[in-house]
Amino acid sequence: MGLRPNLLTRRTAGVASTTLALLLSTAAVGVVPAASAFSAAPTEVCVEPADVHSDARVKPGSGAEHEPNELTLAETREREADMAAALRERARFRAGAGASTMAAAVTIPVVVHVIQENSTRAGGNIPDSMVNSQINVLNQSFSGATGGASTAFSFQLQKINRVTNPSWYPIVQGSSAERSMKTSLRTGGKNTLNIYLGELSDSLLGWATFPTRKLNSMDGVVVLSESLPGGTATNYNQGDTGTHEVGHWLNLYHTFQGGCSGSGDSVSDTAAEASPAYQCPTGRDTCTAPGTDPITNFMDYTYDSCMHQFTAGQASRMLTAWNAYRAA
């Protein structure tokens, strides 16, 4: 499938749509989004979970073997059961409060933390213009302007927080330094998206957290700063790593979750896919179920220039998860 003209124009202008955790690998690699957070108010004390899963990706030829926590069938079942329970809990709360309606349109406040080793570009000091372009990418991607379904979500940048701290640079997934960084910097309630930018460990592009019922300081999205629009991460520098990881933060699985069997990614209008797709393999079809692989979907692993859409089913799932976990 070719890109829509408006997407091509947008990419030429340096404001594109890609994924916040694209795996830059040509081999099938398992990845899983992290457990995230649920809290009652911005002032709620963060609760640290025993285990916070994360979605991570590696670059081709890196030799990195860091692939934490691809969701097993049991884990996806547990997550789906938890969301159903969270929805019931929210319904009881709304009924008791006399507020029966659920959010249908959501503006998400965004705080971006630029983690720097020093004041140079090589040391992580990217310009504000790249951050602003990333927010534009999120808004276009989630609005359907790039060719996919329109979702309920828009994004509003609240603050760019620049932090020079060599001990947090590069950001190492799963490390005590990552926990220290997030514990020190994360702001806002369960509805606030915190994005951490910098050089990443193990040749990763990024990782994210899934929503859970208690807010913890690890909640948010981490992304390679040079994958933002105008960055130096070839084939992954149009901002879709951000879109992909925010998709996880809003409770989407990868399109290839579960392979060709079972409930897959728990979305009915994304065709089953046996394994991640890389580059832009038009016509790829890895499952016998109807439909070719959804290589243009933001939740696959293709090049930024290849992906440009969410489906209506994904839009519905994200809104359902928002009302279960993150809505005030």
Which residue numbers are catalytic? 245
Query: How many Å separate Cα 280 from the centre of its chain?
Result: 20
The answer to whether the beta carbons of residues 20 and 244 sit under 8 Å apart is yes
Cβ pair 109, 158 in contact under 8 A: yes
Closest residue by Cα to residue 194 from 292, 326, 30, 1: 326
Given a contact cutoff of 8 angstroms between Cβ atoms, the answer to whether 28 and 251 are in contact is no
- Taking the C-alpha atoms of residue 74 and residue 117, their distance in angstroms, rounded to an integer, is 40
- The residues, any chain, with a CB within 8 Å of residue 118's CB and separated by 6 or more, are 124, 125, 164, 166
